[in-house]
Amino acid sequence: MSKEKSAPDATLTVEGKTYSLPVVFGTENDRAIDIGTLLQQTGYTTLDPGYKNTASCTSDITFLDGKEGILSYRGYAIEEIAEKCVFIEVAFLLVHGHLPNPTEYENFRQLLKRFALIHEDMIHFFDHFPPNAPPMAILSVMVNSLSSYYPEMSDDPLKTLDATAARLISKIRTIAAFTYKKSVGHPLVYPRPDLNYCGNFLNMMFDKPVHPYTVRPEAVAALNKLLILHADHEQNCSTSTVRLVGSAGVNLYSSISAGINALWGPLHGGANEAVVTMLETIHNDGDNFKKYIDKAKDRSDPFKLSGFGHRVYKTFDPRGKIIKEACDDLLEVLNVSDPLLDIARRLEEIALNDQYFVERNLFPNVDFYSGIIYRALGIPTNMFTVMFALGRLPGWIAQWKEQQEDPNGKIGRPRQVYIGEPSRPFVPMSKR
């Protein structure tokens, strides 16, 4: 962050009095008015529902420009990173701030291998969830429980962060795969040290005693790409949750567990599951696109086209573009034909040419095609948001770390404008 010497301060006039507020520039020309002294100077707060205009922090992790459709991690364009890196390289980049050299990469890989198992006692937890328990509920509980099994984090969190980050990144994959195996009643498949991060996950998900699973490089490549595309997205709902919870001094595991719960929502990470459910509904309704487009446009109907629109991107979602291509490639290589893909393509075409969607800058976001790829990989719909969490984890860790290290970091505590009853006398129960 730099405050340009030549940048004039912003002036604000309230009740006839003028106040000066510093202007702050980011490295990619983000501009902000620093209102840190506003309340103290003027007695006023700001009102910004949904934080549409509020930067909650400065950050050097992820940059995105919603108008131009740009996304970069630590300065590297998402298009290049998604093409040339594997997920754990990107995880290292986000957490450590630079791409790993060969030694750092090897050490990180070794840590991931070492930490791949979860404590055997934790495996009993899975048995006590009802059979149809949502995988996101299980994931958040299991991740929170890690704080009891690996409490060394609490003594000096930043000193042990490298190990804790690797532990979390490795274990969340095992927890996710075990959640699935338990839900279908199959024996657990333990992590294998000879497999890479994504291959290991797929093997733990799909290997069976009588039907050994073959890890296909195309599947590994597609999964790497999906996880990379989800790895960070600056101050979105779940990341802000992780930072807010962390700002109270809460340990990394529990802060991440809170983020998992925020991600679960259908307006956020839960959208990938909602997309496939919506496509199935349209398919089962005789491919009646018009009915659902009309519903989405009807303001009295709560229905929205899942996988369309974004709070920040107003031209296109660069992740959506990469995912669409990856989706076409994977389905071709695996020779999979999915009727839902045809519906998705058709829906996109109709929506992109409809005035309602054009005027509101609504176009497919990252979640629109990711579900089709997950289906092609064999991942069940109710695990889609868990997949998002696996991808987003390194971003959450990096953001939590940044928040903890911030010398100006304070406990998050927004203000409000009270609009309730004015002060009034208490009425005893007998007189109410």
Q: At its nearest, how many Å lie between ligand CMC and the CB of residue 310?
A: 5
Interface with ligand CMC by CB under 6 A: which range of 65-73, 330-338, 363-371, 419-427? 363-371
Compute the distance between CA of residue 33 and CA of residue 282 in angstroms, rounded to an integer.
46
Q: Is residue 296 near ligand CMC by the rule CB under 6 A?
A: yes
Residue 23 has phi, psi (to 5 degrees) of -105, 135
First to last CA, the chain: 57
Selected catalytic residue, list 207, 232, 317, 367: 367
Compute the distance between CA of residue 102 and CA of residue 330 in angstroms, rounded to an integer.
29
Q: Is residue 244 near ligand CMC by the rule CB under 6 A?
A: no
Residue 2 has phi, psi (to 5 degrees) of -140, 140
Q: At its nearest, how many Å lie between ligand CMC and the CB of residue 90?
A: 17
Compute the distance between CA of residue 267 and CA of residue 262 in angstroms, rounded to an integer.
10
Q: Is residue 173 near ligand CMC by the rule CB under 6 A?
A: no
Interface with ligand CMC by CB under 6 A: which range of 188-196, 307-315, 404-412, 417-425? 307-315
Query: How far from chain centre, in Å, is Cα 249?
Result: 22
Nearest to 226, CA basis, from 380, 73, 377, 400: 377
Q: At its nearest, how many Å lie between ligand CMC and the CB of residue 375?
A: 17
Strand partners, 20: 11
310 is catalytic: yes
Compute the distance between CA of residue 338 and CA of residue 276 in angstroms, rounded to an integer.
11
Selected catalytic residue, list 96, 230, 233, 310: 310
Residue 431 has phi, psi (to 5 degrees) of -105, 5
Contact 428, 58 (CB under 8 A): no
186 is catalytic: no
Q: At its nearest, how many Å lie between ligand CMC and the CB of residue 276?
A: 12
Q: Is residue 291 near ligand CMC by the rule CB under 6 A?
A: no
Q: Is residue 345 near ligand CMC by the rule CB under 6 A?
A: no
Nearer CB in complex with ligand CMC: 145/236:
236
Nearest to 61, CA basis, from 407, 401, 410: 401
Among 269, 318, 371, 394, which residue sits at the site for ligand CMC (rule: CB under 6 A)? Answer: 269
Q: Is residue 239 near ligand CMC by the rule CB under 6 A?
A: no
Q: Is residue 114 near ligand CMC by the rule CB under 6 A?
A: no
Q: Is residue 248 near ligand CMC by the rule CB under 6 A?
A: no
Compute the distance between CA of residue 274 and CA of residue 286 in angstroms, rounded to an integer.
19
CA distances for 105 relative to 110, 118, 166, angstroms: 9, 23, 12
Interface with ligand CMC by CB under 6 A: which range of 33-41, 67-75, 195-203, 298-306? 298-306
Q: Is residue 310 near ligand CMC by the rule CB under 6 A?
A: yes
Which residues are catalytically annotated?
A: 310, 367
Please give the residue ranges that form the binding site for ligand CMC (CB under 6 A). 233, 236, 267-269, 271, 296, 299, 304-311, 360, 362, 365-367
